[in-house]
Amino acid sequence: MFESLIDNMCQDTWKELECDKKNQDEFKEYHVNVHHKQLDETTIGYMIAEEDGDAKQVVIKDVLPHKDPLKEVGFIEIRLSKDETEITGIDLNGDIIVRSVK
């Protein structure tokens, strides 16, 4: 059975988003390195890169323990924080989640 992205995330801070509510300008396509680093129980580090861009290290926070929403994902649409260090949104073929921290 297909596992939705939200099934990997803390639902207090991550929410599902309908496709028509997604701001296309906030999301970019990235290649994701297959090696992910578990930084603590709920934070994972990834190396990502745009098609012709330099690689950058980013994190995703509030992941459920022993889960990885980008496991076996090589290319995906991601929304980054303003400083481009944290993933705040993921769109995997229309399965969209966004981090909504107050």
pLDDT, residue 29, reads: 96
Residue-wise pLDDT tens digits, 35-93: 899 999 999 999 999 998 899 999 999 999 989 999 989 999 999 999 999 999 999 99
**Number of domains forming the structure of the chain:** 1
pLDDT at 19 over 50: yes
The answer to whether residue 48 is domain-embedded is yes
The answer to whether residue 49 is domain-embedded is yes
Cβ neighbours for 55, distance < 8 A, ≥ 6 positions apart: 33, 47, 48, 49
Which of these, 23, 20, 22, 17, lies nearest to 4 by C-alpha position? 17
CATH code of the domain containing 89: 2.40.50.140
Distance of CA 87 to the CA centre of its chain: 5
The answer to whether residue 11 is domain-embedded is yes
Residue 40's domain comprises 5-15+25-99
Residue 2's pLDDT band, with cuts at 50, 70 and 90, is low
The answer to whether residue 80 is domain-embedded is yes
The answer to whether residue 65 is domain-embedded is yes
The answer to whether residue 34 is domain-embedded is yes
Alpha helices of the chain — where are they, by DSSP H? none
pLDDT, residue 102, reads: 55
pLDDT, residue 66, reads: 87
